[in-house]
Amino acid sequence: MKKEIHLISPRGFCAGVTRAIDVVNIALEKYGPPVYVKHEIVHNKSVIEELKLKGAVFIEDIKDVPQGAPLIFSAHGVSKLVVNEANEKKAITIDATCPLVTKVHVQAKKFSSQGYHIFLIGHRNHPEVEGTLGQLDSSEITLIENTNDVSLLKTNFEKVAFVTQTTLSVDDTKEIINQLKIKFPKIVSSAKEDICYATTNRQNAIKKYAIGCDKFIVVGSRNSSNSSRLVDVAINAGCSDAVLLDSKDELDLDLYENAKVIGISSGASVPEDLVLDIVEKFKSKYDVEIKNFELQKETVSFNLPKNIRR
């Protein structure tokens, strides 16, 4: 059976991921290996392995960073505590936090200074969420993961505001926000939503095009929040057979024997060559026609941190 592969765009690297990877590569050129990175710079196995080969060392505990060594904060952002620990180590710190995550940090601190109690909508233990929670004292901010958490909230707050993780499901987050607004009619939020443009664009593209596919593949790593959400979006859009694959090595071609139309997209931290490798693997067994579907072009870019600019 001849197969159509529908390549859905936007997909792949967002501006924040491109910037974060560039930061590590430039730091390696500037300081030489090893360069230490707090948490995986982005959530993609292939990217991490490539940077490790160049001399990047990924750590979770600042205690593992030698005194005075170069230390990069990942795109997900870090807490105030981590920044303080890095300063105590006299580390050469380079902040690769995505500017859109920094925007959430700034907004949370602004709300706090204005006397609001803040609800953070996000996934527990995700590094971005830990970084945002860590901007404030625990008494000032409460994590909300789902609508059930909203139902358990007490209503004795005088002033409340909410911010969100940048890589959430747009639809799920709207549902939580609606419940918050019912419970707290005077709740306030950022002027613009916190879910980033790349997350929204990739979800909207899959929403539009997945319904015409028999099967759908999202290329991305298991620990990538935005990639995992894309699988959910494909299923909710009408393609019930959607999977997350890290690379071509996880692709079992026999499972696609009866599929005529196969949709493929990728998360915001995924190199395009991983998508092309999967396409080539399909070509090795099947007669394949490639069709491209692009919802919109992305032109966003971010400046590098000042202390790492060439």
Dump pLDDT digits (tens) for 91-141.
999 999 999 999 999 999 999 999 999 999 999 999 999 999 999 999 999
Dump pLDDT digits (tens) for 21-46.
999 999 999 999 999 999 999 999 99
Q: What's the start-to-end Cα distance of the chain, in Å?
A: 52
Same fold, 3-13+197-294 and 100-195: yes
Q: What kind of fold does domain 3-13+197-294 have according to CATH? A: Cobalt-precorrin-4 Transmethylase; domain 1 (3.40.1010)
pLDDT reported for residue 1: 79
Dump pLDDT digits (tens) for 218-231.
999 999 999 999 99
Dump pLDDT digits (tens) for 189-240.
998 899 999 999 999 999 999 999 999 999 999 999 999 999 999 999 999 9
Return d(Cα 234, Cα 237) in angstroms, integer.
Answer: 5
Share of the chain above pLDDT 90, in %: 96
Dihedrals φ, ψ of 51, to 5°?
-70, -35
pLDDT reported for residue 155: 86
Strand order in the sheet with 3-9: 242-245, 215-219, 261-266, 3-9, 288-294
**Closest alpha carbon to 168 in 143, 142, 200:** 200
| Average pLDDT rounded to a whole number, residues 60-86 | 97
- For residue 25 the two structure tokens come to 């590569």
CATH of domain 15-98: 3.40.50.11270
- Which residues have a catalytic role annotated? 128
CATH of domain 100-195: 3.40.1010.20
Dump pLDDT digits (tens) for 165-186.
999 999 999 999 999 999 999 9
Dump pLDDT digits (tens) for 287-297.
999 999 999 99
pLDDT reported for residue 124: 96
| Average pLDDT rounded to a whole number, residues 160-168 | 97
pLDDT reported for residue 126: 96
- For residue 189 the two structure tokens come to 């939020």
Dump pLDDT digits (tens) for 136-156.
999 999 999 999 999 999 888
- For residue 219 the two structure tokens come to 């290329």
Looking at every residue in the chain, the average pLDDT score rounds to 96
pLDDT reported for residue 309: 83
Domain ranges of the chain: 3-13+197-294, 15-98, 100-195
SS3 204: helix
Q: Cα–Cα–Cα angle for 11, 14, 15, nearest 5°?
A: 155
